[in-house]
Amino acid sequence: MKLIEDLDVRGKTVFVRVDFNVPLSESGEIRNDTRIRASLPTIRFLSEHGAKLILASHLGRPKKFDPAASLRPAAVRLAELLDRKVEMAPDVIGPDVDRLKAGLRDGGVLLLENVRFQPGETKNDPELAREFARGVDVFVNDAFGSSHRAHASVVGVAGLVPVKAAGYLLKKEVDFLGKVLHPVKPFTAVLGGAKTEDKIPVIESPLDKADDILIGGAMAYTFLAAQGKGVGKSLVEPDKFDLALGIMKKAAERGVRLRLPSDHALAPSIDAGIVDRMTDEYPFPDVLMGVDIGPKTVATYSAIIGRAKTVFWNGPLGVFENPAFAEGTMQIAQAVAASPAVSIIGGGDSIAAVAKAGVGDRIGHISTGGGASLEFIATGTLPGLEALEG
């Protein structure tokens, strides 16, 4: 995979796919600019080396033009961070956009409007890709968080531009997540969240690599219920029982220690304001549900994490968005931060948990792409990466 530093970009028009899919407040203010900051090294390098930059990104999932999904706030914030002017295009394509492109000087920066304002973006429409590629000398992908999608601004345009390369953020993500594909052992995967089906590829991938897989979150109750344990009114997916049992069987056959919570915080609902009780016994009362891992599980999981040399974590271990049920997730975040292991966090909820615990600066790598990081770990590649090789 070629890198931007391998290129001579002076005077060249460079189309850069970035990921400025930032959270906005109701008044349109950026609540967290992490994704914009993450691409600054790439943008600065290209601008300082005389490239004419056309930046493209999506924001949200609009099907057509929607002022609430405009990238204008991102353009304003990028200009502040770069301490230089950033032109904001009024649209994605069209005569006005063409005039702005033609007027770019060496080092100049133009941000296109939200690419998802064009319905052809998510369909990888060839005509839209041709519009993106027209007059472009170099394509750079620095949007790891969008590289699992075969969209026009990620894959389509890459196939039409003669020179293509990875930006610094994309390279950093691939390098760190590659440590999960080929981990230094002992390797521990910590997997939480609600839906078993969403995590199947990520559970099955470490079965060939992990020493320990630590399961938490609502997903754990599908595994426990599949074993015949009464879990009250905990969230379970009965149609995934056979799948859960199959995963446990594979883990046992391969010598992987797949661990489930040994004790639980119970409450009448996920909206309750307090834990009703802690238990390590089954069945749970019919009127209660599991909302967090208990202290025995925290101690067991933390000890395993402390012995690991590689840790990958995706998904909270309880209903952590409710402060009453966040204790287990917060303590696991502390354990990952304290571990001497190479630690990698993937997925929006896990990132939020790390931020809430205040330990982000003690994590080896926090991936900017939730879905992309999961797919990369499961398959070892992404459509956006493959497009750079063509």
- How is the chain split among helix, strand and coil, in percent rounded to 5? 45, 15, 40
Which is the catalytic residue, given 35, 52, 164, 172?
Answer: 35
**Which residue type sits at 223?**
F
Q: Where are the beta strands (DSSP E) in 204-252?
A: 212-215
Dihedral of alpha carbons 364, 367, 373, 374, sign: positive
- DSSP per-residue string spanning 52-93: EEEEE---S--SS--GGG-SHHHHHHHHHHHTS--EE-SSSS
Residue 348 known to be catalytic: yes
Residue 371 known to be catalytic: yes
With CA atoms as reference, report the closest residue to 244 among 208, 311, 193, 195.
195
- d(C-alpha 347, C-alpha 252), whole Å: 27
- Reduce the DSSP state of residue 217 to 3 states and report it: coil
Residue 172 known to be catalytic: no
- d(C-alpha 200, C-alpha 241), whole Å: 12
Which is the catalytic residue, given 50, 246, 348, 360?
Answer: 348
Which is the catalytic residue, given 195, 229, 250, 309?
Answer: 195
**Which residue type sits at 230?**
G
- d(C-alpha 254, C-alpha 178), whole Å: 22
What is the DSSP pairing of strand 289-293 with strand 13-17? unpaired
Residue 306 known to be catalytic: no
- Reduce the DSSP state of residue 191 to 3 states and report it: strand
Q: Where are the beta strands (DSSP E) in the chain?
A: 13-17, 52-56, 87-88, 109-111, 138-141, 163-166, 187-191, 212-215, 257-259, 264-267, 277-279, 289-293, 310-314, 342-345, 365-366
Cis peptide before 283 (omega within 30 of 0): yes
Strand order in the sheet with 187-191: 257-259, 212-215, 187-191, 310-314, 342-345, 365-366
19 in Cβ contact with 146 (< 8 Å): yes
Task: Name the CA radius of gyration of the chain, rounded.
Answer: 23
Residues involved in catalysis: 35, 195, 348, 371
